[in-house]
Copies of this chain bind each other. A is one copy, B any other.
Amino acid sequence: MTTPALPVVTTVIDLRETVGAWKKQGLTVGFVPTMGALHEGHLTLVREAGQQADRVVASVFVNPTQFAAHEDLGTYPRQEVLDAELLASAGCHLMFAPTTDEMYPEGFSTGVSVGGPSEGLETDFRPHFFSGVAVVVAKLLNQVQADVAVFGEKDYQQLMVVRRMTLDLDIPTRIVGAPTQRDGHGLALSSRNAYLSEDEIAVARRLNGVLAQAGANAAAGGSVAEIEAQAARSLLEAGFAMVDYVAIRQAGSLAVFEGDQVDTPGRILAAAWLGKTRLIDNMAVAAVG
């Protein structure tokens, strides 16, 4: 089966022309922002957007402002032609692939910062990450003017930060979170999995199980602090080289549980290293019953 070629626009003017024409026809618009290097996880987001809206736009833009100088901006996987084919196969109607100059022209000087859910976790290890994410997502949402935008729960803290910013700045797009897609062994799909050796994949697949066990222990009434420490030890024993964090937080605000017990719905989140590759994962933790 061949998929018809996906229309691609590279400028905001062209993007708005297409989206504006859809809106004039009374069609609703869904949006999925990506950094390309698409896998089944992204395609699930595109299908979800297609469930929620008549037309789907996906952006492919490797946003330089969310990478620190030592991070993998230069080597981040890029495959634009394949990405367009994958998007078309998932029911996407338009790909928006702006250049860095289109997004950040000379003289660009605006920053967006989000407190609350951006505090701690990823921010402790990637201090500029969420300010980079916030500004590019604010721009993309305002550029597309979609009715709904779909973000993966894989980047759970990012989803909470985007929700907070969209609400706070009154951006008129509904933010929807979609469940993490996993391989048959529970490993969360990620573009960065492409960096892993076969041996590392075997270790990476343990992350999900360790978090599930820790979450179950917390839901059974255990001490949050003790469970976090035990889970970090388990990840090192499983073969991870380093653990940035394993943390159990309140599900919406990502605030710390003050009483060291999961007394409202929670989320367990982790970031750990395999060689030079940093993996993240998270899952829901039920409140102590």
Chain A residues with a Cβ under 8 A of chain B: 12, 16, 107-117, 134-135, 138-139, 142-143, 145, 164-165, 168-172, 253
Q: How many Å lie between the Cα of A130 and that of B112 in the bound state?
A: 13
Residues of chain B within 8 A of A110, CB atoms compared: 112-115, 134, 164-165, 168-169
B113 and A113 form a contact (CB under 8 A): yes
- For the complex formed, measure the closest distance between the CB of A142 and the CB atoms of chain B, giving whole angstroms: 4
* Cβ A172 vs Cβ B16 within 8 A: yes
* Interface pairs (16), CB distance under 8 Å: A16-B172, A107-B164, A109-B114, A109-B115, A109-B117, A109-B164, A110-B115, A110-B134, A110-B169, A111-B112, A112-B112, A112-B169, A138-B170, A139-B170, A142-B142, A142-B172
When C-beta atoms are compared, the residue in chain B nearest to A20 turns out to be: B172
Q: Are the CB atoms of B107 and A253 closer together than 8 Å? A: yes
Known contacts A111-B113, A112-B113, then 13 further A-B pairs from the complex at CB < 8 Å, ordered by chain A residue: A12-B170, A107-B164, A109-B116, A109-B168, A110-B164, A110-B165, A110-B168, A110-B169, A111-B112, A111-B114, A138-B170, A142-B170, A142-B172
Taking the closest CB of chain B, its distance from the CB of A139, in whole angstroms, is 5
Residues of B within 8 A of A139 (CB): 168-170
CB pair A108 B170 closer than 8 Å:
no
Alpha-carbon gap, A280 to B45, bound state (A): 51
Contact of A171 among B111, B116, B142 (CB under 8 A): B142
Q: CB-nearest residue of chain B relative to A142?
A: B170
A50 CB to closest chain B CB (Å) equals 24
